[in-house]
Amino acid sequence: MTSSAASSIVIGLLGSLAVVGVGAFALYALRRRALTLSIVLLTLVPPVAIIVGVVGTSQFMFTAELRRTALVWLAVTVVSVPSAVLLGRSIARRSVWEREALERERSAERSRRELLAWLSHDLRTPLAGVQAMTEALEDGVVSSPDDVKQYAQLIRIETMRLASMVGDLFEMSQINAGTLMLDVGPVTVDDVVRTAVDGVRAMAEKHGVTVEVDGQPHGTLAVGAAPELVRVLRNLLANAVRHTPEGEVVRVTLGSDAGEVWLRVGDACGGIPDVDLTKVFDMGYRGTDARESDGQGAGMGLAIARGLLDAQAGRIAVRNRDQGCEFEIRLPAA
Three-state secondary structure of 263-294: EEEECCCCCCCHHHHCCCCCCCCCCCCCCCCC
**Pairing between β-strand 315-321 and β-strand 324-332 as defined by DSSP bridges:** antiparallel
Q: Rounded to two decimals, what is the model's pTM?
A: 0.59
Angstrom distance (rounded) from CA 331 to CA 259: 9
Q: Are 154 and 133 in contact (CB under 8 A)?
A: yes
Q: What are phi and psi of 208, to 5 degrees?
A: 70, 30
Q: Are 82 and 36 in contact (CB under 8 A)?
A: no
State the DSSP string of 92-143: HHHHHHHHHHHHHHHHHHHHHHHHHHHHHHHHHHHHHHHHHHHHHHHTTS--
Distance between first and last Cα of the chain? 86
Q: 271-286 pLDDT, tens per residue?
A: 888 888 877 887 666 5
pLDDT of residue 237: 92
Q: Are 265 and 233 in contact (CB under 8 A)?
A: yes
Instruction: Determine the Cα angle at 246 with ends 241 and 248, to 5°.
Output: 75
Q: Are 233 and 196 in contact (CB under 8 A)?
A: yes
pLDDT of residue 295: 45
Q: What are phi and psi of 12, to 5 degrees?
A: -65, -45
pLDDT of residue 258: 79
The per-residue b/e assignment along 207-229, b for 16 or more CB within 10 angstroms, e otherwise, is bebebeeebeeeebbbbbbbebb
pLDDT of residue 233: 92
Residues sharing a CB contact under 8 Å with residue 207, sequence separation 6 or more, in sequence order: 241, 242, 244, 246
SS3 71: helix
Residues sharing a CB contact under 8 Å with residue 304, sequence separation 6 or more, in sequence order: 168, 171, 172, 175, 235
pLDDT of residue 323: 82
> Of 235, 240, 237, which is closest to residue 168 (Cα–Cα)?
235
> What's the CATH number for 185-332?
3.30.565.10
> What's the CATH number for 107-177?
1.10.287.130
Domains of the chain by residue range: 3-99, 107-177, 185-332
pLDDT of residue 75: 66
How many beta carbons lie within 10 A of that of residue 160, not counting itself? 11
Q: 125-169 pLDDT, tens per residue?
A: 778 888 888 888 888 887 788 888 888 888 888 888 888 778 777
Angstrom distance (rounded) from CA 322 to CA 224: 30
Angstrom distance (rounded) from CA 301 to CA 292: 8
Q: Where are the alpha helices (DSSP H) in the chain?
A: 3-29, 35-57, 64-138, 145-177, 189-207, 226-243, 274-277, 301-310
pLDDT of residue 265: 92
User: Low-confidence residues of the chain, pLDDT below 70?
Assistant: 1-16, 19-20, 23, 27-28, 30-38, 40-42, 44-45, 49-81, 83-89, 91-92, 108, 111-112, 114-116, 118-122, 177-178, 216-219, 283-299
